[in-house]
Structure 1
């Protein structure tokens, strides 16, 4: 395996934040945010779709240290898949967990179910968020260094359920979250996920970076190859969410693109 430090591609590679989507105990492949169509992952790197197997591949073959985990059942207000999350963490990956936390009550419930695992960071996603007051409460409970706000979009429009957020632009939502004390923000258009046509968010991220240069911006969605990480990084994203291109073998441990 080529050394990360010696390979010229490692600059972009080091920005990758690998993703595991969980659904009904399996690691699944996302496609355009249409969760009912998600299917168990398939990969040339391993057999089966067990979350721990994917985590082992990310750690042992690629050398990743962190992993974004989306528990889709928990997000859909079903049950937290604590055993799968723990099966990922046991391989030594720092878990960035999106489990549908939108209130302090949900956070405390999930924290209790994961008493043997303290996620590295908690994702608070716009689609799950109850209110702006909940952001303040969650920031106090989680701490701003472990709190990550996810600005969820669908075809460029904020993806939100509550009236409190309706009518706000993506920029306005980001501005308000940062004003409340958010230090890290994911900008993700779910319509791009798994499609392999590149991200749609570079202009938005560049605009938000110009407005808030001290915030840690995270992009993703639609990466086809390692070079697709570059425009997001150039726009100002310090980390880039990637799943399908890693699982399919389009981004390899040897940096062959």
Structure 2
């Protein structure tokens, strides 16, 4: 009994100690998952836009759909590939997926709803819009910002509430936005108009492979004896796509 609060029962304490870890995976939108072209389509695009919202065409990066499908299955504890029997793994990490963007929420929500198959209301729980970016004191320009992950972890009613540096991955195409927390970031080259026209981008494929391998290793771990979980130790083994 501490400060009038009863200590957890031994069985409950053991369950907490041996539970698989929780992981928050935040996906930047424009330049990472997709490219937006306002007022016109990209000439000779390799793929058609998946959304036209407010006269802006949204183009999906190759393997974005597969990445999101993987994370949606992982949220349910399913580590098997799409098309396989969707049985939850008893020791699967507890994954949550969110979307980070400098867009207004009204522009981000239709894209997230389309990508996840959820309603716009459900999608809003996942979206961290412009307000979750704060001024970058080291930025070259007055308008430069970086990711406010502390705000993400403190925002009740959102998927990232209660997470921390030890269990958050930020997938981004702009290193300066995460230079204050580089060990929590996985960087991909920017997906832009040229990438839309060229097609064949492999960046998110490499991320899928790395995430799948990490989740499988974590599901196989004995959390009664494993050291405290820190996702940054696993991110250190992900490929460096900016040097590739």
TM-based fold match above 0.5: no
TM-score of the superposition, structure 1-length normalised?
0.30
